[in-house]
């Protein structure tokens, strides 16, 4: 798996491509992860790519993260994102999920909630 990087003015390295995916925009950021909107180079399929930094996780958060992955890998429901793949690049864990607005997320956005 290859990651290309570019340098931004704030001196952080931001991946531009991850394997067969091109990062399009940042969807959100938390204390230990960033979620990107990405697109498969060949198929054009849009996915959410969650970039997790395990070094920032304490034991409890690591357990929550493991539970999240186990849950997503076992569920198939139209209103829950579908987990496609999980992989590690250097010290970063990445996982790909479906990236399409669910019925409920559209309602929340229309209400001004996110």
pLDDT at 21 over 80: yes
pLDDT at 1 over 80: no
Boundaries of domain holding 79 = 3-110
Return the exposure string of 29-51: e unless at least 16 CB atoms fall within 10 Å of the residue's CB, then b: eeebbbbbbbbeeeeebebbbbb
Number of domains in the chain: 1
pLDDT at 114 over 80: no
Residue 50 known to bind ligand: yes
pLDDT at 58 over 80: yes
pTM: 0.67
In sequence order, the 6+-apart residues with CB closer than 8 A to the CB of 60 are: none
């Amino acid at each position: 798996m290859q990651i290309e990087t570019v340098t931004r003015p704030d001196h952080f390295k931001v991946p531009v491509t991850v394997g067969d995916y091109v990062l399009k925009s940042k969807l959100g950021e938390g204390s230990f992860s960033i979620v990107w909107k990405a697109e498969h180079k060949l198929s054009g399929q849009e996915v959410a790519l969650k970039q997790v930094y395990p070094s920032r996780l304490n034991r409890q958060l690591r357990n929550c993260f493991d539970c999240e992955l186990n849950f997503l890998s076992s569920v198939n429901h139209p209103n829950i994102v579908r987990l496609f793949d999980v992989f590690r690049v250097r010290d970063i864990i990445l996982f790909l999920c479906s990236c399409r607005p669910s019925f409920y997320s559209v309602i929340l956005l229309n209400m001004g909630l996110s």
